[in-house]
Chain A
Amino acid sequence: MRTRSMVEWAFSLPCRLPWRHRKPSILFVLLAVLFSSACRQDMHDQPKYIPLRPSGFFPDHRSERPLVEGAVARGNLDDDDAFYAGKGPDGKPVDTFPFPVTKDVILRGQSRFNIYCAPCHDRVGNGAGMIVRRGYRHPPSYHIDRLRTVPNGYIYDVITNGFGAMPDYAAQIQPADRWAIVAYVRALQLSQNATMKDVPPGQEIPTPQLLSPSGGRK
């Protein structure tokens, strides 16, 4: 405010002064313009909230307000337990998938698995990921009998709520992606226990690429 009134005053000077003072005052105005340019950033920093911009209004300085507990947005009542909790009407984990598992679903699951799970479980699911090598508790391999026989809903529930040392990934992975990961974990389990009988007759088998225990290529 003060800057603006000073500039206005400076601009009005040449018109109000007697002739002999006008020339230096014009010079003064030019200098003032030169030095005052690009000081104001009002259009750059508008008084509005963009994501994660702090707020001076709320005591916790968050402009993005947390939802009131129990609030449900219209159309967001997640009451399909089989999809959102991986549990059937009897409260037990379901062993089905809520949608057909296509190749696209598996590929989606692979990409999500490699982002969120592979740091600990490693890309082949043996539980020797980088974070584990740096000291995190070793998770079991997916290829032990117990985990090969658990229902799909159990794996979904572990992703959603965590298990043992594993934290929950409910905030990082959306439900549909969790199911895609379940499908990919199933594919990993198949891959480590496949037999010649699983190969359709007439199918050519490519030469296997050897994997080191850490999952890297030898």
Chain B
Amino acid sequence: MSQIFHHSSNTLARITIFGAVFILAFTAWVAEEFFRGAWSTRASQIREQPVPFSHAHHVGGLGLDCRYCHTTVETSSFANIPPTKTCMNCHSQIWSTSPTLEPVRASFRTGNSIQWTRVNDLPDFVYFNHSIHINKGVGCETCHGRVDRMSLTWQENNLQMDWCINCHRHPDQYVRPREAVTTMGYHPAGDQEAIGRRLVQEYHIQDPRVLTSCSTCHR
């Protein structure tokens, strides 16, 4: 009876066992890149909008505060998209004949909403609340990045749960004084660890055990 396996099968088997480590690691890496990378989380991707609104111009250039337009961010779960009237506060006089802004004027004339595309979209089972974060000293920049440098708006972070949890575990590494929540390019005046620990106490930020409880974000 002849051999079923050729002699070279020994080598092949050894290589396969050795290579399996790399194959598994590679698969894990591909999966990681796929599920957490920009392609599936849509981080750093510019969303197309009906009007090419530039935060870089309005915030970085003119120095408008975030809350001039997003008025409800301190009091509501949702940071509102401004109504067309807010755009027209200035654009009734400035750039009032620009063809780029025609959708804005049309919306103001007719009363129909401008259909903006949502940029940061959390899953519906996450009950995120803007006001609590703003009032506890989490800056806009901490989650949304340097909006004052975004000519067109993108989602800065991947919005994965471990990204949320990271801050819920160590709020002292991220909080800033309430007066500076809308500041872009914030630098702590001193040691962030010391400032953070003081602010966590001062603002009564809950213990990480509470902050990382499931029902804090999921109900």
A205 within 8 A of B: no
**Once the chains are docked, how many angstroms separate the CA of A165 from the CA of B93?**
9
Task: Indicate if the CB atoms of A135 and B93 lie closer than 8 Å.
Answer: yes
Chain B residues closer than 8 Å to A119, beta-carbon distance: 62-64, 68
A114 to B83, CA, bound (A): 21
Whether a CB of chain B sits under 8 angstroms from the CB of A209 is no
Question: Which of A38, A46, A111, A136 contacts B90, CB < 8 Å?
Answer: A136
Residue A144 CB within 8 A of the other chain: no
Q: Given A130-B63, A131-B94, A167-B92, A45–B68 Cβ distance below 8 Å?
A: no
B217 to chain A, nearest CB (A): 14
Please tell me if B112 contacts chain A, counting CB pairs below 8 Å. yes
Among residues of B, the one whose C-beta sits closest to the C-beta of A46 is B124
Docked Cα-Cα span, A172 to B83, in Å, equals 10
Q: Is A163 an interface residue (CB 8 A)?
A: no
Are A171 and B85 in contact, CB atoms less than 8 angstroms apart?
yes
Instruction: Give Cα A114 to B66, complex, Å.
Output: 11
Whether the Cβ atoms of B65 and A115 lie closer than 8 Å is yes
Q: B93 and A44: CB pair below 8 A? A: no
Q: With the chains together, A172 CA to B157 CA distance in Å?
A: 29
Residues on the A chain within 8 Å of B85, using CB: 167, 171
Contacting pair A171 B94 (CB below 8 A)? no
Q: Are A52 and B81 in contact (CB under 8 A)?
A: yes
Binds B, one of A10-18, A54-62, A152-160: A54-62
Q: How far is the CB of A46 from chain B (nearest CB, A)?
A: 4
Which residue in B62, B113, B118, B123 is a CB contact (below 8 Å) of A44? B123
Query: A44-B123, A135-B94, A171-B85 given as contacts; is B68 within 8 A of A52 (CB)?
Result: no
A134 near B62 (CB under 8 angstroms)? Answer: yes
Complex Cα spacing A38 to B92, Å: 47
CB contacts under 8 Å to A, within B50-72, are 62-65, 67-68, 71
Residue A116 interfacial (CB < 8 Å): yes
Indicate with 1 or 0, residue by residue over A20-37, a CB within 8 angstroms of chain B CB atoms: 000000000000000000
**Chain A residues positioned under 8 Å from B86 (CB to CB):** 171-172
The CA-CA distance from A50 to B79 in the complex, in Å, is 12
A100 within 8 A of B: no
What's the nearest-Cβ distance from chain A to residue B50, in Å? 13
Contact assessment for B113 and A136 in the assembled complex, using a CB-CB cutoff below 8 Å: no
Q: Which residue of A lies closest to B179 (CB)?
A: A111
Query: 3 smallest A-B Cβ distances: which pairs?
Result: A51-B78, A44-B123, A46-B124
Residue contacts A-B, CB under 8 angstroms, 21 given: A43-B123, A43-B125, A44-B123, A44-B125, A46-B124, A46-B125, A50-B124, A51-B77, A52-B80, A114-B65, A115-B65, A119-B62, A130-B62, A130-B63, A131-B94, A135-B94, A136-B93, A165-B93, A167-B89, A171-B71, A172-B71
Q: A62-B113, A131-B94 are in contact. List 17 more A-B contacts (CB 8 A).
A: A43-B123, A45-B123, A46-B125, A51-B77, A52-B81, A114-B65, A115-B67, A119-B64, A119-B68, A130-B62, A131-B62, A131-B90, A134-B62, A135-B94, A137-B93, A167-B85, A172-B71
